[in-house]
């Protein structure tokens, strides 16, 4: 009997087939022939990456390109686009009001090396994907051995399926990794099938390993009095976006049989929820159920330790917390209701590298 | 019911913070020569407000003489009052001085510390990977040539949103487990960073004073 959080093939097909209409303009400084070439219209796969579009874009602009070879990069309203963030996530984060088509500028010179990590074409994207997949495997199972031990043929086939957006081919290989889906009983499938390879000690039935879900959050601030998303001030620099790479841990001892998206965000972004009385009451829970905190008790008395758990917020911090308010949560272009089951979102809206990318708009 | 502290080579955030403060305290207590600055704790900023619980440890302004000055130095004339040649050596030495910043950041994914670093020329320009390679110990250089994509890469600094060089953390918990095997529970978490630094520091040519490992 399928549970509410179970994986749905229909959802996966919709996610993998998702695309953003792009209108790519050649940067003025790179135009070497008059009249300037018309913009290039194409679809950018939501789960894909901009460097993978470079070859077709180069072909379109070939008659106008300056001589020489430099790293190609993309920009939206003056902001260089991070090539290692999936196209769909960049769109959800930077276009408060979805812009269709999304107007981008492509540059063939002047790579902003102080802002963007270096990119050597497809190889960089492939290894960025591989390293993210290893990271996700570590989060879920406690080690990356399933990914590290993939055969060369499987590694290549998996990357090809991601590059081409081929879900069937991807499913054939990714099931070998045993990385999910997350079950309602809070155990990933691999945990029930085999013991953790990284652990030498026998696992007692009483201590259930926490289920860890790979999550990457992108928090953007919008003006407080914003009524219409189209009036949002564009992001002008990456420092104003908070990027949080932190897995969400689910523990059975918590006693929750249902975890809403709101609860997950409360845990991952406590500073945006601390003004709520309910969230404040939830703070002691991690202290009570986190075995990792036990060694600290030997340094301080238990009462002192627990008193430290909710740290007395400075007046300034309290003010910020009160002012900030969650406006919007987007995953795969969908504005999610806060009551939606978190595990359904994690199982069905994740990217091929097994991370759930969540765009959060807050007003401050 | 408190579970036993299983030594799997990882740290919780609280343990990282405690170990970081232990490192900062112990390092500042060592009579390190003037060549090495102090480690200091940096709270991370969210919406402009320093966080009470999250941050990283920074060691900044570590000088390293570039390889180019070695040949110049060997040519130095033994006559001490040779002003022209001495000036040439000083000029050459200054041009080859590199300034390194090291940050230790906690990885929530791997539950281990991660080293981020960058190098600057004396004029303030960022060092490229090829320039940094010249400062690496030979064993690290060999490893980097073999594992281009998974040893030292240029990734985004989690707190600064800019590309920094980093040592990939996916194998850290395995070798830390071996290193910490014989320590007691309390010592294990407090001394984690010092032990970790003994391995990671070697990989990037950062010399760690031996006094850090003495009980004092």
Q: Percent of chain B at pLDDT above 70?
A: 71
CATH class, range A122-211? mainly alpha
Q: Which two tokens stand for residue A251?
A: 């523990």
pLDDT of residue A280 exceeding 70: no
By the 8 A CB rule, do B131 and B97 touch?
A: no
Residue A32 and residue A243: Cα distance in Å, rounded?
38
Mean pLDDT of chain A: 76
Count Cβ atoms within 10 A of the Cβ of residue B91 and give its class: 0-12 exposed, 13-18 middle, 19 or more buried: exposed
**CATH code assigned to A12-107:** 3.10.20.620
pLDDT at A317: 45
**B170 in active site:** yes
**Chain A contact for B47, CB < 8 A?**
yes
Residue B7: closest CA among chain A residues belongs to which residue?
A: A199
Mean pLDDT across the stretch A106-113? 90
Please report residues of A whose CB lies closer than 8 A to that of B181.
none
Cβ–Cβ of A313/B156 closer than 8 Å? no
pLDDT at B5: 43
How do the domains of chain A map onto residue ranges? 12-107, 122-211, 212-363
Cβ–Cβ of B5/A294 closer than 8 Å? yes
pLDDT at A344: 87
Beta-ladder partners of B99: B63, B120
Kind plus residue range of the DSSP H or E element containing B50:
strand B49-65
Mean pLDDT of chain B: 76
Q: Is A1 helix (H, G, I), strand (E, B) or coil?
A: coil
**Chain A contact for B185, CB < 8 A?**
yes
Residue A77 and residue A237: Cα distance in Å, rounded?
10
pLDDT grade, residue B3 (50/70/90)?
A: very low
pLDDT grade, residue A19 (50/70/90)?
A: very high
Cβ–Cβ of B49/A84 closer than 8 Å? no
Count Cβ atoms within 10 A of the Cβ of residue B22 and give its class: 0-12 exposed, 13-18 middle, 19 or more buried: middle
Residue by residue, DSSP assigns A71-139 as: --EEEETTEEP-TTS-HHHHHHHH-SS--SSEEEEEESS---TTTS----THHHHHHHHHHHHHHHHHH
Taking Cα atoms as reference points, which of A227, A265, A207 lies closest to residue A363? A227
pLDDT at A296: 31
Q: Is A269 helix (H, G, I), strand (E, B) or coil?
A: coil
Residue B142 and residue B153: Cα distance in Å, rounded?
14
Cβ–Cβ of A198/B173 closer than 8 Å? yes
pLDDT grade, residue A259 (50/70/90)?
A: confident
- How high is the ipTM of this complex? 0.81
By the 8 A CB rule, do B163 and A117 touch?
A: yes
Please report residues of A whose CB lies closer than 8 A to that of B109.
135, 138-139, 214, 245-247
What are the pLDDT digits (tens) for B72-92? 333 333 444 444 444 554 545
Residue B153 and residue B128: Cα distance in Å, rounded?
12
pLDDT of residue B22 exceeding 50: yes
Angle in degrees, CA B11, B15, B18, rounded to 5: 145
* Interior/surface letters A171-181, b for 16+ CB within 10 angstroms, e for the rest: eebbeebbbbb
What are the pLDDT digits (tens) for B173-205? 888 888 887 666 656 677 788 889 888 887 888
Work out the minimum CA distance from A304 to partner chain B, whole angstroms: 15
Q: Which long-range contacts (CB under 8 A, 24 or more apart) does A318-323 make?
A: A318/A274, A320/A271, A320/A364, A320/B47, A320/B48, A320/B49, A321/A271, A321/A272, A321/A274, A321/A275, A322/A275, A323/A224, A323/A364
User: Which strands make up the sheet holding A215-222, listed edge to edge?
Assistant: A241-245, A215-222, A356-363, A325-331, A334-335
Residue A299 C-alpha from the chain's centroid: 37
Residue B38 and residue B47: Cα distance in Å, rounded?
28
- Considering only the beta carbons, identify the residue of B162, B168, B185 that sits closest to A114: B162
Phi, psi of A205 (to 5 degrees): -60, -30
Cβ–Cβ of A238/B126 closer than 8 Å? no
Residue B205 and residue B119: Cα distance in Å, rounded?
13
Cβ–Cβ of B161/A294 closer than 8 Å? no
pLDDT of residue A313 exceeding 90: no
Mean pLDDT across the stretch B10-26? 88
Residue by residue, DSSP assigns B137-191 as: -HHHHHHHHH-TTTSEEEEE-TTT-SEEEEE--TTHHHHHHHHTTTS-HHHHHHT
pLDDT at A251: 60
Mean pLDDT across the stretch A249-259? 61
| Residue numbers of B between 111 and 170 with CB closer than 8 Å to A | 126, 129, 149-150, 153-156, 158, 161-163, 168, 170
- State which of A184-193, A232-241, A263-272, B29-38 shows the largest mean pLDDT: A232-241
Cβ-based neighbours of B21, under 8 Å, separated by 6 or more: B41
Best B156, B162, B183 member to test A by mutation, with max A CBs in 10 Å, is B156
Mean pLDDT across the stretch A183-201? 40
Mean pLDDT across the stretch A99-128? 89
Residue A42 and residue A48: Cα distance in Å, rounded?
13
Residue A78 and residue A237: Cα distance in Å, rounded?
9
pLDDT at A359: 96
Work out the minimum CA distance from B181 to partner chain A, whole angstroms: 12
pLDDT grade, residue A190 (50/70/90)?
A: very low
Residue B94 and residue B65: Cα distance in Å, rounded?
8
Cβ–Cβ of A245/B109 closer than 8 Å? yes
Please report residues of A whose CB lies closer than 8 A to that of B161.
238-239, 241, 243
pLDDT of residue A174 exceeding 50: yes
Does residue B66 or residue A141 have the better pLDDT?
Answer: A141
Does residue B45 or residue A197 have the better pLDDT?
Answer: B45
What are the pLDDT digits (tens) for A49-84? 999 999 889 898 988 887 777 789 999 999 999 999
Alpha helix stretches (DSSP H) within chain A: 9-17, 54-61, 87-94, 122-141, 145-148, 152-164, 167-174, 189-193, 261-268, 277-282, 284-289, 294-297, 302-308, 315-323, 342-348
pLDDT grade, residue B113 (50/70/90)?
A: very high
pLDDT grade, residue B132 (50/70/90)?
A: confident
Q: Which segment of A195-199, B65-69, B143-147 scores lowest on mean pLDDT? A: A195-199
């Amino acid at each position: 009997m399928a549970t509410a959080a179970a994986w749905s093939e229909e959802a996966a097909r919709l996610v993998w087939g998702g695309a953003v209409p792009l209108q790519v303009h050649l940067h003025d400084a790179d135009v070497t022939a008059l009249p300037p070439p018309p913009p290039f219209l194409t679809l950018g796969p939501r789960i894909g990456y901009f460097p993978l579009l470079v070859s077709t874009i180069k072909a379109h602009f070939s008659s106008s390109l300056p001589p020489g070879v430099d790293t190609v990069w993309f920009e939206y309203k003056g902001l260089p686009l991070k090539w290692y963030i999936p196209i769909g996530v960049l769109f959800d984060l930077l276009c408060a009001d979805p812009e269709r088509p999304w107007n981008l500028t492509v540059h063939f010179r002047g790579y902003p090396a102080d802002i963007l990590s270096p990119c050597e074409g497809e190889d960089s994207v492939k290894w960025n994907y591989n390293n993210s997949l290893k990271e996700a495997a570590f989060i879920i199972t406690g080690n990356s051995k399933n990914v590290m031990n993939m055969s060369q043929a499987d590694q290549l086939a998996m990357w090809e399926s991601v590059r081409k957006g081929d879900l069937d081919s991807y499913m054939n290989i990714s099931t070998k990794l045993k990385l999910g889906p997350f079950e309602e009983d809070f155990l990933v499938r691999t945990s029930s099938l085999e013991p953790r390879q990284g652990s030498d000690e026998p696992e007692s039935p009483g201590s259930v390993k926490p289920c860890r879900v790979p999550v990457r959050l992108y928090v953007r601030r919008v003006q407080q009095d914003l009524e219409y998303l189209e009036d949002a001030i564009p992001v002008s620099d990456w420092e104003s976006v908070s990027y949080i790479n932190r897995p969400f841990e689910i523990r059975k001892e918590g006693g929750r049989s249902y975890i809403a998206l709101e609860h997950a965000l409360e845990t991952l972004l406590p500073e945006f929820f601390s003004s709520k009385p309910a969230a404040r009451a939830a703070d002691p829970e991690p202290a009570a159920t986190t075995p990792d905190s036990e060694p600290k008790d030997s340094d301080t008395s238990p009462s002192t330790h627990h008193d430290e758990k909710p740290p007395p917020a400075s007046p300034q911090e309290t003010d910020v917390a009160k002012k900030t308010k969650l406006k919007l949560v987007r995953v795969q272009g969908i504005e999610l209701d806060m009551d939606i089951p978190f595990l359904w979102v994690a199982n069905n809206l994740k990217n091929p590298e097994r991370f759930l990318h969540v765009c959060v708009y807050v007003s401050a | 019911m408190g579970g036993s502290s299983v030594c799997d080579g990882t740290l919780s955030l609280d343990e990282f913070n405690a170990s970081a403060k232990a490192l900062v305290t112990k390092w500042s207590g060592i009579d390190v020569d003037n060549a090495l600055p102090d480690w200091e704790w940096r709270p991370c900023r969210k919406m402009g407000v320093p966080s009470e619980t999250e941050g990283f440890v920074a060691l900044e302004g570590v000088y390293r003489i570039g390889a180019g000055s070695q040949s110049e130095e060997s040519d130095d004339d033994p006559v001490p009052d040779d002003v022209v040649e001495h000036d040439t050596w000083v000029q050459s030495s200054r041009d080859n001085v590199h300034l390194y910043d090291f940050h230790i950041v906690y990885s929530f994914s791997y539950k281990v510390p991660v080293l981020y670093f960058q190098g600057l020329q004396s004029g303030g320009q960022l060092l490229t990977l090829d320039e940094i390679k010249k400062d690496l110990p030979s064993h690290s250089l060999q490893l980097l040539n073999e594992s281009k994509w998974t040893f030292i890469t240029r990734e985004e600094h989690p707190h600064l949103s800019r590309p920094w060089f980093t040592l990939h953390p996916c194998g850290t918990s395995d070798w830390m487990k071996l290193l910490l095997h014989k320590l007691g529970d309390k010592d294990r978490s407090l001394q984690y960073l010092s032990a970790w630094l003994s391995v990671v520091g070697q990989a990037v040519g950062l010399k760690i004073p031996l006094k850090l490992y003495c009980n004092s």
